[in-house]
Amino acid sequence: MMTSSSDSDSQPIPDGRFCVLVVDESTTRLEAMVELVSRRLFGAEVSHAQDAGQAWAVASQLDRLDMIVSSIPAENSEQVFFLRDQVAGRFGVLPGAFYGEGDMSGHYDRIHGEQLFFQPLEDEAFVVWLQNSRKERHAQLAATEAAAVQALPVVEVEPVQALTETVAAEVQALPVAAIPLAAIPEGEGPLEVGAHLGDYELKRLIEANSDWALYDAEQKGINRTVNLKALHRFHRKDPEKVNALLREAQCRAVVNHPVIALVYEANQENGVNFYARERVDDPSLTELADRGERFSDGAVVAFLSAVADALSYLIENKMNFRLVTGDMIRIGRDGHPKIINTVISGELKVDEAEQVGLLADAVFPLLTKGRYGGELALHALMVRMHGQGDAKVGAAIVSLAQLRVALDYLGEKLSGGEASGATKRTLSPALIAALVIGGGVLLAGIVAGLNMGAAKKGKAFDYMVQIPAGEFIYQKDEKVDLKQFWMDEYEVSIGQYADFLTSVEADRDSFKRWAHENQPAVKISYQPLNWEKYYRAAVKGKSYGGTAIDLDCPVMGVDWWDAYAYAKWRGGRLPTEQEWEKAARGTDGNLYPWGNELDLSRFNSGASEGSGDEYKHWAPVDALQQDQSPYHVKGMAGNVSEWTDSWETHPDDPDKQVPIRRGSSFQTESGFELTNRRSAKSPEDSNLSVGFRTVRSKAPPAAQ
């Protein structure tokens, strides 16, 4: 697979441990890769696995991880990126190298700063990446530690909420980079403002990551201001990086639509590869929504029609592109939109239904919510754009062609005249009945659910089970007497948690009302890890990470603060460890909810052999009714581990208190006994195998 090379540059790691996870479905390639990484990263601790599931089982047991190296399987390639996201939730964003055969362009939109290599690997280029990434990872960790030490003596002051939100938003908006900018050799990274590249003078640095920088620049010859994207000079001898930039420029240069930003030219100057594109500095839909701006009905229909027409142009011309979100759509003072050019190489693989839903997400916060008539129709349109439809609002809109038809009709209705423009259509009565809003009445509940992406609801898992007062066996032989309490019959579902987020979004002042008194000031959202991605898939009943998901699956990726806030909003609290264990084991000290014999077919776990459960990862909370405790509480043996309100001293840090999780999850392969206790790294710890349920000390309203 790879040629050998000199070991002269293999040196012991001066900064301590370095842990690498290698994943490859081929035993031969896996062995070769482990050998190469071990040899060229002398002293590294190398773990390995043959698929993403095994890899996560390995990673979840590690106390540290610094790098991922993985092949991209020909089938179900999404599992690699799902693994990447899981690992990021546990260890933070890490340097990563992915390699595969043939055209890799289809994976570009899933890359978050990792390096792509073609298989078979070119040994030298890969080794250079390995060693640079190791140095940069250690530099990153050293900088983090130094910053933490420097921050220790700072006197605590009352945080300024507006500043906190601004900083958090700016950090969230930065591009993910595997290589810290500080680690790039001097003079090899972003160019200084004032530098010249051919006919262009750099005026302002807009953003930069480990590979490229984006500038405002003045094209002197024709006195035109452009955006200029330049590959860092230290990549000049990397044909993969250079060709990727050129391919990007070439693909985008063929676009010729007034709503999509143009690409002018690509060039090379003094070792810097770059291309110039149309400058777009108007505010985005996301920025306008954050400012509290609102648009008239006619303006919304007009710019949304223009955007739909532009995206249809790309599809009709078979141009592949990254899905367009609100921060990619800019609105000028004249109300005309301009879309950042996101065309990429490769065969057209755009999910039109998902794109329509993203447009609804971008537009909904800009609607004027205090009026009726046409504006009410726009609310209904948002419902349909999220794939929901009925006799009151009309059919679901799952393509751009359908969206253009509906917008034409709305434009005509609002103007009181005839539809006009590039999207004008002749509508038959049957088409209007199928595609356009029917009636003038819209239930308030539909509108209330829109800001979380859809009106669709999951099942109502509101029933709480009474756990009677009395003595039970806790842990091994300890007898504990508890007062009666009520516990959720099922784990909190995605649909239930979406209602909570909708409520908080509708009343921003409630964010602090539900917060724990010790919740960090920097926490400004209760959205779980990867929420937007998996919630969108759940609404549509699609798959996420290669596994089916819907609104009845458990909410995942919540940290302890999220779980606490939801429970308080719901009128309850999180269970203590003792309450959780009594509800799960009963009074007789069962090892499992149903008794003392392990039966893998009864619950959702990560065990592969002898398991009768059919779910690859998560399952709907009510899917496995045999996972039932003596009190008829469901799902306590598996599916997701659950937060409790009990804390203990961190096993590796005697000065740190951390919350406890109980129960196994879909990733757990052994140790399923209900007595097992699982310490979190911190209350901020979140991953997709963790959820929760709530309890009350007094009977819920329905039981009173």
- Is residue 268 located within the same domain as residue 333? no
Which residues touch 448 (CB under 8 Å, ≥6 apart)?
A: 502, 506
- Is residue 311 located within the same domain as residue 258? no
The structural domain count of the chain equals 4
3-state SS assignment for residue 116? strand
Which pLDDT belongs to residue 426? 31
Which pLDDT belongs to residue 115? 84
User: Which of the listed residues 420, 452, 484 is the one where a domain comes to its end?
Assistant: 452
Residue from 440, 300, 272, 450 nearest 367 by CA: 300
Whether 311 is in a domain gets the answer yes
- Is residue 198 located within the same domain as residue 316? no
- Two tokens, residue 642: 């659950």
Whichever domain contains 127, its CATH number is: 3.40.50.2300
pTM, two decimals, is 0.45
* Cβ neighbour number for residue 654 with a 10 Å cutoff: 8
Whether 115 is in a domain gets the answer yes
Whether 430 is in a domain gets the answer yes
- Is residue 573 located within the same domain as residue 492? yes
**How does strand 677-679 pair with strand 653-662?**
antiparallel
Which pLDDT belongs to residue 608? 59
Residues of the chain with pLDDT under 50: 1-15, 151-182, 370-374, 417-455, 610, 703-704
Which phi and psi (to 5°) does residue 374 adopt?
-60, -35
- Is residue 543 located within the same domain as residue 611? yes
- Residue span of the structural domain in which 38 resides: 19-144
Q: By the 8 A CB rule, do 637 and 672 touch?
A: yes
Which pLDDT belongs to residue 123? 65
Which residues touch 387 (CB under 8 Å, ≥6 apart)?
A: 353, 356, 357, 396, 397, 398, 454, 456, 539, 540
Whether 678 is in a domain gets the answer yes
Residue with tokens 């724990």: 516
Q: What do you get for the CA distance between the two ends of the chain, in Å?
A: 69
Whichever domain contains 264, its CATH number is: 3.30.200.20
Q: Give the model confidence (pLDDT) of 195-205 as tens digits.
A: 999 889 999 88
User: Which of the listed residues 144, 176, 205 is the one where a domain comes to its end?
Assistant: 144
Which pLDDT belongs to residue 517? 93
Q: Give the model confidence (pLDDT) of 449-501 as tens digits.
A: 333 333 457 888 989 999 999 999 999 889 999 999 999 999 999 999 999 99
Which pLDDT belongs to residue 597? 92
